Amino acid sequence: MTTGNELGWLLDRSLGTLEGVRHAVLMSSDGLLHSRTSGIGQDAAEKFAAITAAVRAAALAYDEETGGGGTRQALIELTNHVGLITQAGGNTMLSVQTTGPDADIGLITHHMLELAQRVGHEMKVAARGPSAEGLPTT
């Protein structure tokens, strides 16, 4: 469980104040929360990160099955809002929930990609692997 919010200030500045953004979450590609905007609490952000990772995994499977050439972004259009998921840095994803279905998706996406390009190196997280604990020694 993540209790820090190391880049929350950056998410707030770049996305949290953008019209049409309810909240944004930065997470590892396997769904471990890294940072969040102030518009979402810790518990909700952790759930949102896990759900986002599952959606991203489905998008990757879809890409593999259809020969899409790689997944750049996933968009989930719901009745009350839109969800956007994009690669943000090494082993890192950025997910945004809009305030409603009429939010300017193009503008929000532009800011997400700009943030990822500008500071992606700051947002990367190390890939997690199996723990050495419990493994037999050779």
Please report, in tens digits, the pLDDT of each residue of the chain (138 residues total): 445 788 899 999 999 999 999 999 999 989 999 999 999 999 999 999 999 999 999 999 999 999 999 888 999 999 999 999 999 888 889 999 999 999 999 999 999 999 988 877 766 666 666 655 555 544
> What DSSP string describes 55-89?
HHHHHHHHHHHHT-S---EEEEE-SS-EEEEEEEE
Q: What local confidence, expressed as pLDDT, does residue 132 receive?
A: 53
pTM: 0.83
The verdict on residue 93 lying in a domain is yes
The verdict on residue 83 lying in a domain is yes
List beta partners, residue 104.
none
CATH number of the domain residue 62 falls in: 3.30.450.30
Distance CA 36, CA 49 (A): 10
Number of domains observed in the structure of the chain: 1
The verdict on residue 13 lying in a domain is yes
Domain interval for residue 87: 8-123
The verdict on residue 2 lying in a domain is no
Q: What local confidence, expressed as pLDDT, does residue 2 receive?
A: 47
The verdict on residue 137 lying in a domain is no
Q: What local confidence, expressed as pLDDT, does residue 138 receive?
A: 45
The verdict on residue 26 lying in a domain is yes
The verdict on residue 59 lying in a domain is yes
The verdict on residue 89 lying in a domain is yes
28, 13, 2: which is closest to 118 by C-alpha? 13
